[in-house]
Structure 1
Amino acid sequence: MQAMPDNVMVVDHPLVAHKLTLLRAAATPTGDFRRLVREISLLMGYEVLRDLPTEPVHIETPLEPMTARQVSGKKLCFISILRAGNGILDGMVDLVPSARIGHVGLYRDPLSHEPIEYYFKVPDDMDQRLTVVVDPMLATGHSAAAAVTRLKRAGAGAIKFVCLIAAPEGIAALHAAHPDVPVYTAAIDRQLDEHAYIRPGLGDAGDRLFGTK
């Protein structure tokens, strides 16, 4: 496998690896697939958000006053690349219920594999928020790069990208377009096939999440 950029992080916790193995299995039914994506996303969220800034606050416990830490600054923003990104979004929102949420609608042209935008809705003040972009698969990297480009035009500065499985080709393409954006993934697979599917992968994440095939 080719060398990865320094800002690519594989979340290799044993529970993430275990749940990802169950997720990959063709025999895993839709309901279990959806639940596993949510669970993996929540586990990954701890690593993705490890460097959130905090500030001291004064509180009263049942026994005495104290100074404790809480997350500071504007509420972070999760951006789902539709439609499959919504599967990861659920787990992330479980972890940070107060986060703002945006959506980028992109579909892949079946011939060119290039992304075409059909929907874009994000919160205000994107320049003041940490933006976490979620999509289960980083395959060609074209959709991820297009989504990040669009978010930067909307003012987003600090951006992270989170996926379940990445292909080396997708990592390279996203890094070439946006070298400042770190990638968090549960696994880096071998390669893309002639149809731009990740091998060994897990199939079409959207179809498996929503039971549409």
Structure 2
Amino acid sequence: MASDERVCVLEQTPNVEAIITALLDESTPQTEFVQFSRRVIRLVIEAGINFLDMEDHTVETPSGHPFQGLKLVQEPCGISIMRAGEAMEQGLRDSLQSINMGHMLIQRDRENPSSDPQIYFHHLPANIDKKPILLLDPIIDSGATIINALRILVKEGAEDKRIIILSVFASDAGIDRVLGSFPNVRIALARKMDNCQAVRFSKRYFGT
């Protein structure tokens, strides 16, 4: 866990370091880039799930003995920011198989690339005002895209304290901007780095 309890960065184990190295290597083939991405995405998702509320839960083991453990208080919904966020959807479904998904399309004006991104489309799961939300976007660079997504979610009734952002790479500036605008959200990510867009995540993951 990072020093800010709202931000969880994966422990930089040798395994995580090796995956990150492969993702940043421009010579990594597209098929391998996808495989490495899926591995680290799954780790980020599991880290993000740790932010969700749990409650005590006792079960009976196959040998007939009780086990006192935990279970989710409430299953969240997932929302991916297209199209990069779609790369994280399968990993989320692998972890939470019955999760309901929504989507947002947020893009910059190609004729004015320095402007903040605008929302062109959103389809959200029902009752987002009553559920925790896992917001998927592999890259947090300036933070503008995530902030626009959060504005829509809050406008539609979501509580920012129940929103968890799942990402792969994020810059300190982007994280600070997001938390400065929405101080109650939580963020789970694989690695902090400057100039996250240099990874070209979407182009390399989808091969286009």
TM-score of the superposed pair, with normalisation by structure 1: 0.84
1:210 aligns with 206
Asked if structure 2 preserves the Cα contact closer than 8 Å seen for 1:166 and 1:187, the reply is yes
Deviations 1:89-148 (A, max 9, x none): 222221111222111111122423411112211111112211111111101111000001
Paired with 1:182 and 1:59, the residues of 2 have a C-alpha distance of 30
* Amino acid paired to 1:50: N
Unaligned ranges ≥5, structure 2: none
Identity %: 26
Deviation at 1:65, TM superposition (A): 5.8
1:137 aligns with 139
Paired with 2:28 and 2:96, the residues of 1 have a C-alpha distance of 28
1:168 aligns with 172
Paired with 2:39 and 2:54, the residues of 1 have a C-alpha distance of 25
Deviation at 1:27, TM superposition (A): 1.1
Q: What pairs up with 1:149-168 in 2 under 5 angstroms?
A: 149-157=151-159, 158-168=162-172
- Which of 176, 179, 183 in structure 1 is aligned with 2:187? 183
Distance 1:89 1:13, change over 3 A: farther
Deviations 1:18-53 (A, max 9, x none): 211111111112221122211111112222112433
Task: Give the RMSD, CA atoms, in angstroms.
Answer: 2.2
Unaligned ranges ≥5, structure 1: 193-197
* Amino acid paired to 1:63: S
Q: What pairs up with 1:5-20 in 2 under 5 angstroms?
A: 6-14=5-13, 15-20=15-20
Paired with 2:66 and 2:205, the residues of 1 have a C-alpha distance of 45
Deviation at 1:7, TM superposition (A): 2.2
Is structure 2 residue 81 aligned with structure 1 residue 77? no
Paired with 1:66 and 1:5, the residues of 2 have a C-alpha distance of 37
TM-score of the superposed pair, with normalisation by structure 2: 0.86
Asked if structure 2 preserves the Cα contact closer than 8 Å seen for 1:101 and 1:123, the reply is yes
* Amino acid paired to 2:8: M
